[in-house]
Amino acid sequence: MNAARDFSLGILAGGGGRRWGGRDKGLIAFRGRPLLANACDPRPANAREILICCRDNAHFYSHYSDRVLCETTLLRGPCAGISALLSATEAASLIILPTDLISNSEQLVATLTETWTAEDRAVVLTDSHGQHSPCMRLAKETLASCCAFIDRGGRQLSEMLMALEARAGPVDAAQLRDADSPSDLLTHRAD
């Protein structure tokens, strides 16, 4: 199988939803369907499986995935979710997207598929200013490094990406829109 196409899709749906008053962002309606649906529907044709790492509502998430799992270490932010997804994937690499994605997931998956090379271990999509996003592709072999980062007390995604020596994949900032707060949905409701 082509290494660029041997991937699972992992959705980060954990977190506390602080800016949303504790609400589970994946369940929030946007354009008539839950935010989660935008991240994983339609299912990428070349994805071996869809995995979702959530904090609650596993029954709901199971309708959109092949498997639902929980973070391996609590209170470690997206790094713990990434570690859980990497430990569960059956593929050689994992494309990771956030559950609150507003942008076109198909376009992001295509970008992460097209830019991935046989030498890559970690690629993260960044905006034109170099600001990282939670949209990335990691080789399964990075699991040990991710776990070691968490074991050292690491929490910040940017620090984990530096530890993995992730290659930046610059894209237009509009491709990386997510719903960090209710105002983000209001701003993009008409797009």
For 138-190, the pLDDT digits (tens) are 999 999 999 999 999 898 999 999 999 999 999 998 888 887 766 666 666 54
Chosen CATH of 7-188 out of 3.40.30.10, 1.25.40.10, 3.40.50.620, 3.90.550.10:
3.90.550.10
pLDDT band at 1 (very low <50, low <70, confident <90, very high): very low
> Each residue of 52-98: pLDDT tens digit?
998 888 889 899 999 999 766 665 678 999 999 999 999 999 999 99
Sequence spans of domains, the chain: 7-188
Rounded to 10 degrees, the C-alpha dihedral 75/63/136/183 comes to -70
Least confidently predicted of 3-17, 108-122, 131-145, 166-180: 3-17
- What is the reported pTM? 0.90
Residue-averaged pLDDT of the chain: 87
DSSP the chain: --TTT-EEEEEEE-S--GGGTT--GGGSEETTEEHHHHHHSSPPTTEEEEEEEESS-HHHHHTT-SEEE--SSTT-HHHHHHHHHHHH--SSEEEEEETTB-S-HHHHHHHHHHS--TT-SEEEEE-TT--EEEEEEEEGGGHHHHHHHHHTT---HHHHHHHTTPEEEE--GGGG-B-SSHHHHHHHTT-
